[in-house]
A = this chain, B = another copy of it.
Amino acid sequence: MNPKLLRGSLDTIIIKLLNDNGEMYGYEISQKVKEITGDAIKITEGALYPSLHKLEGKGVLSVETRSIGNRYRKYYSITTRGKSELATMLDDMKTYMESMQLLINPKLA
């Protein structure tokens, strides 16, 4: 898929997945997106991790680091603040998709 089209929607995807699935760690999010979209969307790590840090910094997500054997994972959850932001983001996405349909679909009139 054209990666340019993804620009701007990564945050929405992350927050929506965390809202629906409860806590997840970064790698798990990237796998889930591939699974759901049938490999159509692949989130690169270079985009994912900075976004998670940014969203945490904004108070949209919270983190908890857990030890798994000799390793660690950083589990992210959506905050109350994140839930209200998600509502706006989904509205924006819906508006965008409806507009694109109008622009791109063969005339329905």
Contacts and interface: CB of A to CB of B under 8 A. Distances in A.
A2 B8 contact: yes
Interface stretch (A53-61, A74-82, A86-94): A86-94
Interface of A: 1-2, 4-9, 12-13, 16-17, 33, 36-37, 40-41, 89-90, 92-93, 95-104
A97 B100 CA distance: 9
Number of this chain's copies in the assembly equals 2
A23 B62 CA distance: 51
Contacts of A90: 104
24 contacts: A1-B99, A2-B8, A2-B89, A2-B92, A2-B96, A4-B8, A5-B9, A5-B92, A5-B96, A6-B8, A8-B8, A9-B100, A33-B103, A36-B99, A36-B103, A37-B99, A37-B102, A40-B95, A40-B99, A41-B99, A41-B103, A90-B104, A97-B97, A97-B100
